[in-house]
Chain A
């Protein structure tokens, strides 16, 4: 980062007193078929120079709309009122031409989806250079801008920047594209950077890199930052102040530490209580916020959170509560008429949330009390291998290589047990699942279900075994046929397996109740349900045949946190009451810690560490596990600021051409710190999986405990 001085030599910027951004009573509405959507309803906030403001809220709460309003990028159909002052100058009402002089120069923005944020037909370098040229026509030559673009790419950590600047966006990974967008955002040394969910679409390791990068960007530019997120963990260590939004308004604002330790509005409490914590060992009661955010077309009078609030009283329905000072602090505000009572309880934070929302720890199943060795193996993988050919040519395909998607993995799952399978995207999780679900003879190794080796199955036995195993997919929308009623969706597996009509008609409503839905809704179609409800339907369908093992592929990652908590609780209850075993694939390690009994960490088609959840999370031995865990933010500002991040460099190497010896060595920080003769061991020898502790194995030549939580 030494080049930063040369890059940001902007002397002419006037030093402005007071806040960089001042939003007052902002209202934004859109026309829609159902009437006007009031997306933002009277929002006021400020950002001081160099300050980081976090905006948190559920999907649809108006986070993006309010920031697009600041940028002047709302569609023409939007109706805006109120005031947005940037460095004392009013922005509302200015023409596009005037705003374009400020956009990218004084205020810049980083968007959520890096994959589509860059124009596909121009090189990354050109697009960054354009950001400079558009504001400094005449004073900066094209060549100088191109050179600076390369410097900026270097600054945001793209290796070989001068070369990579000539690449097109599709040649960059998601993380690299987000870096390029950040390079663009800091190109003109702005005074305010708005980042709208900058890490949502990224892997945790990349998320940690991007957050770090934003911190660096803030240091070099001294800009104020608005970071929008729905993940309370992300902003805990980064933001100075926090604003929680609900239904287009701020419902709680204050210093980050105050809000995390003393939330004073039930919605904030719920949000905090709904996050599974990576750093909590004992079973935690997750708070589900029931119901859905209100429709913004015609809100009834009163508190918009009332329909979902556990503390609601009649007075809540009379008028919308304004933001008022709480705890006698001039900086901490909450919009709730009962905030005083919340302050008066003797519990705080997540505990208070569990109490107020009445969440309870789910009891473990009977079977889980039997020692692991004595329980039956439900699923066993032994050195499973799956390879894909890499072909070139259109007409005459030539095989030019092999992708080792799954390269010899071994684990077993016993009755009543949950195994979490984690790793970055592209490490082979989904391939492993597909191999298991296919029940075909694998390319290499063995798969056995309930003690039967699947290679020896005939068609009839295979069908019988399918009954014992079912699956729930990630995307609740895509995995349900939109033309079938819910009844048919749930009944389908039973029909396939020849259940009688009476039996089906008896069981379907029973399953609906089991997953917490009302049987009266059976004649509806999937489109009429929310994401969380659809996921429940998916679970009901998976349970139809009374399986022993349920394979869950990222079952909650498409859901908002508050909804996610409900689904996790449901999965835990079902596991406990039905004695199910789960294979739970996820990239969110906090969820895995909460729900799993054992965890397997995959890297490039291999398991690098496996074992009891508490042992692996508290005393990780493999450098990759340590890096993964350290990348996960913890929703606790004090802890988060003290944590030392292990940042992995670069992206996952191509599985078609994995590094020799230990596959992780190209990104391994431990390897980098070893003396050369030890490094040679990593390069030449593939580390075997070795027992580290009771039910805890890791594959590293130099495995050593490192606490990262």
Chain B
């Protein structure tokens, strides 16, 4: 079993490398930082342009550039941005910002999604089921930026109603905030609520749909009836025998759900002015910065693949049949 998980991990590392290489190549081929430089008015001197070309290793073939960059990455050096700042310095802070959003979003998404799915399934064709279905479909068909902006408006309404600004939605913290650590924490929490909701709602909708259908499969199953025939009440049978079994297919979804989350996260960061990884990616693309683009891609790949690996672990934990083989 441990061997199986280790092999999967190795697979995922290779996949992450391939994904990053592809992003790096694509960025290198399409970006034209020198062109941007040349079009400045007044144009910079030829020597400057030449120095920039050297500095960006544009004289080398792309695979070689990738190897140079990657060998830095292994040592913890992600290279420079196009504006000469070391990426590594900024990376830690940005990863922190994004992970805070992603992890909260996915935890809430899975928790409430599963709950909503189970409730929907148990109350199939009742009002709560129809309501949950409607809720999910509306959310799943609303683009994140629409949802984010709607929530902003809603938050503003709440603030107006309360009279003070409880819900803050610009940035991840108030600039130059002074106070005790507790006040700091409170400030960050105030900034966190609306963006987290933006991400979590979509996730809840996504997971609840799948959980509902896998729970419905289990609801009609013979083993649930056997459990009740033994003397478990319907509720006990549902939670002890039904839910556990219905969660198994969800483990696999987890990996895909994370991909969805990252896309949503990128928009969310833009909408709420969070300087996280998603924001950085957009910035990197607009400034034609290969290193930033590759770094963010690497980060995303690692996240997605790590969640894939976590899904394998979860799957194995939920389904003993895997462990036995």
Interface residues of A (CB under 8 A from B): 71, 73, 96-97, 100-105, 108-109, 111, 113, 116-123, 127, 130-131, 134-135, 168, 170-171, 181, 184-185, 188
Does B57 have its Cβ within 8 Å of any Cβ on chain A?
no
| Contact present for A73 and B225 (CB under 8 Å) | yes
Name which residue of chain A comes closest to B319, CB basis. A121
| Contact present for B231 and A135 (CB under 8 Å) | yes
| Contact present for A120 and B223 (CB under 8 Å) | yes
Complex Cα gap A116–B225 (Å): 10
For the complex of A and B, the 8 pairs showing the least CB-CB separation, nearest first, are A104-B231, A104-B230, A116-B222, A131-B230, A119-B223, A109-B229, A100-B233, A119-B241
A127: chain B residues at CB < 8 Å are: 230
A104-B229 contact, Cβ under 8 Å, with A117-B223, A118-B223 = yes
Within 8 A of A (CB), among B215-237: 221-236
Shortest distance between the CB of A78 and any CB in chain B (Å) = 14
Q: Which of A103, A116, A118 contacts B231 (CB 8 A)?
A: A103
Within 8 A of A (CB), among B283-325: 318-321, 324
| Contact present for A73 and B321 (CB under 8 Å) | no
Complex Cα gap A162–B223 (Å): 23
| Contact present for A120 and B231 (CB under 8 Å) | no
A71-B229 contact, Cβ under 8 Å, with A120-B245, A121-B318 = yes
Name which residue of chain A comes closest to B229, CB basis. A109
A104: chain B residues at CB < 8 Å are: 229-232
Give me 30 A-to-B residue pairs in the complex whose CB atoms sit less than 8 angstroms apart, sorted by A's number: A73-B225, A73-B229, A96-B235, A97-B233, A100-B228, A100-B232, A102-B231, A103-B229, A103-B230, A104-B230, A104-B232, A105-B231, A111-B229, A116-B222, A119-B227, A119-B244, A119-B245, A120-B245, A121-B245, A121-B248, A121-B320, A121-B321, A122-B320, A130-B230, A131-B230, A134-B231, A135-B231, A171-B324, A184-B226, A184-B230
Complex Cα gap A96–B245 (Å): 22
A103-B228 contact, Cβ under 8 Å, with A96-B233, A119-B223 = yes
> 5 additional contacts, CB 8 Å, given A111-B226, A117-B223, A134-B230?
A100-B236, A119-B245, A127-B230, A181-B226, A184-B230
Name which residue of chain A comes closest to B225, CB basis. A73
Interface residues of B (CB under 8 A from A): 221-236, 241, 244-245, 248, 318-321, 324
Name which residue of chain A comes closest to B234, CB basis. A96
Complex Cα gap A113–B223 (Å): 10
| Contact present for B321 and A118 (CB under 8 Å) | no
Question: Residue among A73, A100, A117, A122 with the most chain B CB within 10 A?
Answer: A100
B244: chain A residues at CB < 8 Å are: 119, 121
B223: chain A residues at CB < 8 Å are: 116-120
| Contact present for B221 and A101 (CB under 8 Å) | no
A120: chain B residues at CB < 8 Å are: 223, 245, 319, 321
Name which residue of chain A comes closest to B245, CB basis. A121
Name which residue of chain B comes closest to A185, CB basis. B229
A168-B229 contact, Cβ under 8 Å, with A116-B223, A120-B223, A121-B245 = no
A101: chain B residues at CB < 8 Å are: 231
Shortest distance between the CB of A218 and any CB in chain B (Å) = 18
Complex Cα gap A117–B227 (Å): 9
| Contact present for A168 and B320 (CB under 8 Å) | yes
Complex Cα gap A391–B221 (Å): 32
